[in-house]
Each structure stands twice: as C-alpha cells, then as structure tokens.
Amino acid sequence: MLTLAWCLPLLGALLLAFVPRWTERNARAFATLIAVISLLILIGAWFGFDPDGPLFQHVWEVPWVPSIGVAYRVGVDGIALAVVTMSALIFVAAIAYPLDTREDSQRSQAHQYYGWMLFLMATSLAVFVVLDLLLFYVFFDLSLVGMYFLIGRWGHGRPQLSALTFFLFTFAGSLALLLAIIGLYLSLDSPSFDIRLLIEQQPLAGGGLYAGLVFFGLMLGLAIKTPLVPLHTWLPQAHVDAPGPASAILAGVLLKMGTYGMIRLPLAMLPATFERYALLVGLLALVAILYGALVALGQRNLKRRIAYTSINHMGYTVLGIAIAASFSDNLMAKQLALTGATVEMVAHGLITGGLFLICGSFWYRTGTYDLDGYGGLAHRAPRLAGLTILLAFASLGMPGLAGFVAEFQIFAGTFAVYPWLAVPAVVGILVTAALFLDILRRLFFGKLPASLDQFKELDRIEFTVLSVLGLGVVAIGVYPGFLLEVIDSASVLLTGGR
C-alpha cells in the first residue's frame, strides 16, 4: 500500500519523461491525477491505522541484499503517517498550482517540469515511509537531485548558483549523515539497516565517544537540512530563486526530512546520547527561533521574509524534539513537546506551503517580491487577501488555526522541562506577529499604486488549491483530535510513556 503510494509518482515521472508530445495542460492534469491518487492511497492508510496498535504499521518487507542487511522495508508510525500525508497534499497543491510560464522556451518543457515534480514526490514520500536506513539515505539524497533541477531550470534570478549552493550544502550534510549511518550500522552485532531493529536494540545505549560521534554526524546532516542557524545560509536564496510551487515543496516537505530524521534516527535510536546533548540542541533551537524571526522581520523581500519564518518555525520543531529527548521524568511534558513538534511539521507544511504558493502568484503577476512596491490590494483581490490573512494568522500562531495547536504544546512541554528556555522562546511569536502584520499591511492595505491597477485576482485553480490548504489549517486548528490521536500513538511510545 505504502509502496504503491510512492512508486506511482515514479511511474508517472517516467511516463512524462519518455512519452513524447505532452501539452502543458495534459502534463499538468496527468501529474495532478497521479498525485491525487497517491494522496488518496495514503488517506486510505490513515484509515487503516490503529492508534492503539504497535509503533510501526502497514509494514512490508522484501529481502534484497541479505549479506549486508539491506532489504526493502516500508512501514509508518503515527508521526511518519502524519508527515507523509501532509507531504502528499503539498505535492498535489504544488503540482496543480499554475507555474509562471511566460517564457515560451519553458513552456515546451512543461512535461519535464511535471516529470521532475513527480520524481521528487516519489523520492520524498519514500523518505518518510521506508524503514531501511540505507534506503532512507538514498531517497534523502535523490530528493536533492529533483529539487536541484526544479530550482536550476525553472527558477528566476540566479537559479543556477542558488541551486548549486543548495545542492552542495545539503549534500555535504548528507555525507555526515552517511558516515553516521555507517557508524550505526557497524555498531550492531549482526549488522543490519533495519530501522525497527536499531530502535529495538539500542546498540549505542552505553554512550562514549563512538556514540557521540555518530550522534554528531546524524545531527549535523539533519540540522543542515532543517535548517538550524548557523547552517541555514543555503535556504533563503534557494527559496527566492525557486519557482513558487518548488518553494512550497522545499519548505513544506524537504525541510521536514531534517526534523523527521531527528525523530526517527537520533531520538529513537540514540536516546541516551541525545539526552546528554538535549539542552545544547534546545539552545540551538532557541537561537534559530529568535534569529529566524528577527532576520525575517528585517527583510524587505516578501519571499525572503517567509523563507526566514521557516527557520523560526523549524526551530520550534527542533525545540520540541530536544525536549522529548531531554533528561526529565515528566513524561507527559515530553510527550506533549514531541506531539507539538510533529503538529508543527504538519502545520508549517500547510501554512508555509500555501504562503509560498501565494508568493508564486505575486511573482506571476508582477515579477517582483519587493514589499515596498505593493499596497492596497485588499479591494482588487479580496480572495487573495482573505487567504493570505488566514495563512498569515495561522503562521503567527492564532488559536483556532493549526500553528497554535503546535506551538502551544511545544511551549507547555518546554516550560515543564526547561522553564528559562521557554520564556525567551515565547517572544518569537511576538516577532512573527509583527512581521506578518507588516506583510499584510504592505501588500493589501493603504493606497493602491497605479502600477497595480491591472492586478488580477486569483484564478479558479489557485483559489481552489489555496482554499484546500486553508481548510486543512482550519481543520487542524478547530478539530485537531484526528491528527493528535495518530501522532500521540507514536509520541507516547517514543518518549517511553507506554
């Protein structure tokens, strides 16, 4: 079932690549259809998931290279299920969303664009569902390739340089990750890449230098991807030069691989080592929260600003994970923090994914991200204004929307473990409030500049896609039970509560 969910996009990508003569329309419709089917399969998996059951469900294993312990293994726990379903939804949205195709040379390559999109979808979904460490690494890296081409070929500004920076940086992180994975692999008595086995046996529970090095390697690789300050420098320019839908995926899905990896690898496999460094990780997360928010406030470029809020929000996620790993017997607080961190991943995916799609719409219409050039659009484009306001308030943590459910749990859990870490972290939501209200003011209020007289309202597809994302944000905010139930099932087990 899970296999089908990620293989289907791969098949679609091959079809798009090798069957000639796709029109743009057909290619987009075909890719959207494939993505929707894949999403539906995952929703089906959601219904088949038993929150009271074992940690990993829908497991399927096929031996592959038994001599080195590699096998094709898939399965999800509550956290993976939530993140992978959200990712599929973001992919559907990004694929269905219109791309800026004003240049004719690009239009002819539309089927390649959708092909890469589906390829990226396949590899990204696979990252979240495989239970084999080696495959995890392979897909983790392959997703870089997909994103590299999306930015490099369909971006604007200086896309080649941005894409290369993105690739080299995250690839360097992958190397550290690879070495650490090998270290983990070798620490088992009978080496295997089975994630379940590694979680069960806890091979490096004794600590020591070896465990520390492995932990460091894992965290370095994952922190670059997340990204944590000061390893974030590849992110902003990659976002600015990427096309809107690719940005949505970069923020909504690819960044989650970092934090998902932190939960799946260090937190689950090296809890004893993570516990020793939890405070340090928490401090780094705090830096990311405050630095990300403040630097975002200092931006005059719409897309850069939203890119930096990603750093802030991913900081909350890492903070929640660090709390879950910390040395504390307040199991409830740790569980709350881990659930909060996962909800933050889902919420940030939907919210920031949507905001980046909106950035794409602005670029499509005006070709500028400069906030000073906008104003007074509330009347010209009320739907765009309404949806942007909804997503902005969700991002600044308004109750009733998804961000609050996540951030409140992270704060409460953090305070119970490290009170003095929680207090400055809360200040982050004040700065995000300032920066989002400032965005809304500059885009939609005040006088309409003469240059925007012809500004077009969202078209039907844009409106539908953004409404679906907005609906998801509201649903999680008002009725988070359906999400929390699934996530709690995993976070209880991972924090040792059951």
Partner 1 sequence: MMLWIVPLLPVLMAPLIYLSGRREGCTGVTLLALSALIAVIGALALAMANDWQGSYALNAALVLQVGLVPSSQFVALAIPIMALPVLLFAGVHEQAPLGRLLAIMVAFVGAMELLVLAQDMVTLLVAWELIGACSWALVSHYWRDRDTVKNAVQVFLVTRFGDLGLYIAAAAVFAGSGGFGYSQLAGLDGSLMQVAAAGILLAAMAKSAQVPFSVWLFAAMSGPVSVSALLHAATLVAAGMYVLARLQPLLADVAWLMPAIMLIGLTTALLGGVVSLVQGHAKKLLAASTSAQYGLMWVAIGAGFPGVALLHFLSHGFFKAGLFLTAGVAERQAESYQLEDMRLGGRLPGSALLGGIFALALAGMVPLGAAWTKEQIISVAYAASPWLTAGVALAGGLSAVYATRFQLAMFGPVRFGRTQQRRPPLSGACRLELLALSGLAALTLGLSLFWWPGVQRWLQQQPGWELADVHLWLLAASLVLVVLGMALGAVLVQRGQLDGHQGWRRSAFCWWGLEPLTLGVGATLVKLSARLARFDRDVLERATLLLSRQASQTASALARRDADGVDASLYGSASAVTRIADFGATAGEALSERLPGSLSGLVNRGGGRARQAQSGQTHHYYAGMAIGFAVLLTLLLLGDAL
Footprint of partner 1 on residues 72-131 (CB under 8 A)?
Answer: none
Note whether 250 binds partner 1 by CB under 8 A: no
Nearer to partner 1, 39 or 269 (CB): 269
Count residues near partner 1 (CB under 8 A). 87
- Interface pick for partner 1 out of 157, 446, 451, 459 (rule CB under 8 A): 446
Site for partner 1 in 165-194 (CB under 8 A): 165, 167-169, 171-172, 175-176, 178-179, 182-183, 185-186
Q: What angle do CA 236, 238, 242 make, to 5 degrees?
A: 120
Q: How far apart are CA 88 and CA 37, in angstroms?
A: 10
In the bound complex, what is the minimum distance in angstroms from residue 461's beta carbon to partner 1? 23
How many CB atoms sit inside 10 A of residue 190's CB?
7
6 touches partner 1 by CB under 8 A:
no
Provide the 3-class DSSP secondary structure of residue 299.
coil
Stretch that binds partner 1, among 21-29, 33-41, 363-371, 439-447 (CB under 8 A): 439-447
Site residues for partner 1, window 139-168 (CB under 8 A)? 141, 145, 148-149, 152-153, 160-161, 164-165, 167-168
Do the beta carbons of residue 314 and residue 255 sit within 8 Å?
yes
Q: Which stretch binds partner 1 (CB under 8 A): 120-128, 198-206, 364-372, 476-484?
A: 476-484
Assess 395 for contact with partner 1 (CB under 8 A). Answer: no
271-297 vs 302-325: helix crossing angle, rounded to 10? 160
Which CB sits closer to partner 1, 1 or 434? 434
Q: Which residue has the tokens 């199991």?
A: 331
Of the residues 322, 444, 469, 470, which one makes contact with partner 1 according to CB under 8 A: 444
Out of 53, 157, 481, 496, the residue judged to bind partner 1 by CB under 8 A: 481
447 binds partner 1 (CB under 8 A): yes
Q: How many CB atoms lie within 10 A of CB 459?
A: 12
| CB contact at 8 A, 470 and 354 | yes
> Strand 70-76 to strand 57-65: parallel, antiparallel, or no bridges (unpaired)?
antiparallel
DSSP 108: T
Nearest approach, Cβ of residue 41 and partner 1 (Å): 25
The CB-of-233 to partner 1 minimum distance in angstroms stands at: 4
Q: Closest CB to partner 1 among 364 and 393?
A: 393
73: which strand partners? Answer: 61
Whose Cβ is closer to partner 1: residue 75's or residue 217's? Answer: 217
> Nearest 5°: CA angle at 146, between 144 and 151?
90
Nearer to partner 1, 39 or 439 (CB): 439
Q: Which two tokens mark 257?
A: 């691989």
Residue 14 touching partner 1 (CB under 8 A)? no
In 3-state terms, what secondary structure has residue 49?
Answer: coil
3-state DSSP call for residue 57? strand
Residue 173: CB minimum distance to partner 1, A? 9
Does 431 bind partner 1 (CB under 8 A)? Our answer is yes
State which residue, 23 or 233, has the beta carbon closest to partner 1. Answer: 233
For residue 453, count other CB atoms closer than 10 A to its CB: 8
Comparing CA positions, the residue from 343, 460, 401 lying closest to residue 78 is 343
- Shortest spacing between CB 335 and partner 1, in angstroms: 8
233 binds partner 1 (CB under 8 A): yes
Q: In whole angstroms, how close is the CB of 96 to partner 1 at the nearest point?
A: 25
Q: What minimum distance in Å lies between the beta carbon of 434 and partner 1?
A: 6
Residue with smaller CB distance to partner 1, 90 or 255: 255
Residues 6 or more apart from 414 whose CB is under 8 A from it?
Answer: 282, 319, 320, 323, 337, 421, 422, 425
Peptide bond into 191 cis (omega under 30): no
> Is the Cα dihedral 291, 292, 297, 298 positive or negative?
positive
CA distances from 209 to 133, 182, 194, 200 (A): 22, 15, 23, 21
x/- site string to partner 1, residues 297 to 336, per CB under 8 A? xxx------------------------------x-xx-xx
CB of 159 to partner 1, least distance (A): 10
